[in-house]
Structure 1
């Protein structure tokens, strides 16, 4: 019986395992090895690691966990988690089952990138989803904002205000949402509604090719793709999901299911309008979840109640 099962080996899961291991908890970390930010060459806004490789951060995190004998890391996928009389039972893809008293879901999200030729291959490398994560590197460049939903289109106003005066909105064959049209025009932002055929080239030398044969040369593209949960475990367990698909958590990272916590971009508090998907925020969520799980386990074992 493990004290804590951590599902997901990104910044949130790794930090949760680290904090728990340092408190001499017995921890099982299961990682499928498919992180959301795998395409990105750099991460930002992580103090002392600005511009660092996300893959290298994960490698170092795993290496640090090896110093704590109570932490076990397994490369596999958790396909189901079910409550038991004394905790939870998890089944892995290869058929092995494990039991744990508490669960931390750090399974993350998946970006549902538009089906335009060449777009997915450049996501995280020339095509970016977040101006906080990548805006500084695109300052003063020729930019495009790709999308047709109101939040996607309105992103152009923010990018125009913060980073570049040369911004073009591409709606891929859809009309600009009415609330945005006047604002874009007032800001001097060009709109192209012609369908996109493909995106070519590399970062700083991208070429957007339209159905009418015209092309637009850009140095970077912003595309805030919709997301879905990477895993169905939260839904299986009956955790409350918010309208955007994030798992609802409280200030302790607790879900609506007793004994189940969630951390990283898989979850958010209901009071927030959106998930904060920074690497450092995920790591902080993982630490917070581990601290309060440790205290919950301590109270249970000491007979202190809730």
Structure 2
């Protein structure tokens, strides 16, 4: 039996395994090879690694784990998990299983992109999800926001406030916001297009949005906040409580509502926060916190 099984090979899972390996815990890190930021060539807001490749960060993280003999990394997909603190069973898609005294869920979220031709191909390469991650690099360019709900209207206002004097909100249908917000968009000089977007073409800084009715729109970048959901359904199978937006509910120690199960990264959040923070550096920090408090939990359990 392992001390800990960590599900997820992104920055949260890697940092959790690293922290536990340094405490000489027997750790199994499971990596499916699916990463939310796989399309991105750069990550930002990570001290000493601003603009660094996410894939290279994962490679270096895996390499660092080889220095700790009690940490095993396995490329495998998890099918299910069950049990309770002290004896959890994790089952794999190939029918095999492993047991552990504690679990850390760090499998992250998966994005569902709009069914607009070209968006999936350009996601992370001209179509971006986050002004914190990509706003600085698109500053001064003509920008578009794809989406017609409250969050996309606020995103358009934020981009106009921080990064560009030329922002167009492409609602891809009727704009669904209060009249007061529609008036604010007009006051801030943000054009609103409500006809359907059928295609996004081109490359970063030379994009073109095509509509069912109006003329094509040339833009330097497009921002869109995709709908996200848990990449793996392990938390629900274990009985962990979820927040209304589908994140795994954790406390300040990254503990879920099920004893012995911790969660880290954008898969989890405290109910007091308005939403997950999908950044590499916060995911790595969550992984360290989960591992530190889990280690103390195991230590105290060993004392009886």
TM-score bracket relative to the smaller structure: over 0.9
CA contact (8 A) 1:146 1:153 kept: no
Tell me, yes or no, if structure 1 residue 106 matches structure 2 residue 106.
yes
Tell me which residue corresponds to 1:154: 154
Does residue 210 of the first structure (1) align with residue 211 of the second (2)?
Answer: yes
Q: Which stretches in structure 2 are left out of the alignment for 5+ residues?
A: none
After TM superposition, list the pairs within 5 Å mapping 1:261-276 onto structure 2: 261-276=262-277
CA distance in 2, matches of 1:61, 1:15: 8
Could you tell which deviates more after superposition, 59-68 or 206-215? 206-215
For 1:273 and 1:200, locate their aligned partners in 2 and report how far apart those are by CA, in whole Å: 34
SS in 2 for 1:88: strand
Contact 2:2–2:100 (8 Å) recurs in 1: yes
2:84·2:260 contact (CA, 8 Å) conserved in 1? no
Aligned-pair CA distance for 1:226? 1.4
Partners of 2:153 and 2:114 in 1: CA distance: 14
Distance 2:172 2:38 in 1: 26
Query: CA offsets per residue over residues 96-145 of structure 1, 9 Å max, x none?
Result: 11000000000100111111000011111111111001111011111001
Contact 2:86 2:102 in 1 (8 A): no
Do structure 1's residue 191 and structure 2's residue 192 form an aligned pair? yes
State whether residues 201 and 209 of structure 2, in contact with CA within 8 Å, keep that contact through their aligned partners in structure 1. Answer: yes
Q: Report what 1:251 is aligned to.
A: 252
- C-alpha displacement of 1:165: 0.6
1:15 counterpart residue number? 15
Distance 2:224 2:11 in 1: 23
Q: What CA deviation, in whole Å up to 9, does each residue of 1:42-63 have, x standing for no partner?
A: 0000000000000000000001
Whether 1:3 and 2:27 are equivalent positions in the alignment is no
Deviation at 1:86, TM superposition (A): 3.4
Residue 36 (structure 2) aligns with: 36
How many residue pairs were aligned? 303
Partners of 2:14 and 2:62 within 8 A in 1: yes
5+ long unaligned stretches in structure 1: none
**Tell me, what secondary structure is at the counterpart of 1:19?**
helix
**Secondary structure in 2 aligned to 1:4?**
strand
Quick one: distance in 2 between partners of 1:148 and 1:2? 48
Q: What is the CA distance between 1:213 and its match in structure 2?
A: 5.6
Mapped partners of 1:93, 1:84: distance in 2:
21
> Deviations for 1:254-279, whole angstroms, at most 9, x for unmatched residues?
00000000000000000000111110
Residue matched to 2:143: 143
Alignment CA distance shift 1:185-1:99 (3 Å): same
Cα distance in 2 between the residues matched to 1:129 and 1:27: 33
- Determine the C-alpha separation between the residues in 1 that align with 2:15 and 2:182: 44
Report if aligned partners of 2:167, 2:190 keep a CA contact under 8 Å in 1: yes
The equivalent residue for 1:83 is 83
Partners of 1:19 and 1:141 in 2: how far apart?
42
Query: Counterparts of 1:124-139 in structure 2 under 5 Å?
Result: 124-139=124-139
What SS does the corresponding residue of 1:281 show, helix, strand or coil? helix
TM-score scaled by structure 2?
Answer: 0.98
- Paired residue secondary structure (2:296): helix
> Could you tell me which residue of structure 1 aligns to residue 288 of structure 2?
287
Q: Tell me, what secondary structure is at the counterpart of 1:100?
A: strand
Partner residue in 2 for 1:118:
118
Q: Distance in 2 between matches of 1:176 and 1:170?
A: 12
Which of 206-215 and 76-85 deviates more?
Answer: 76-85
Residue in 1 that maps onto 2:177 = 177
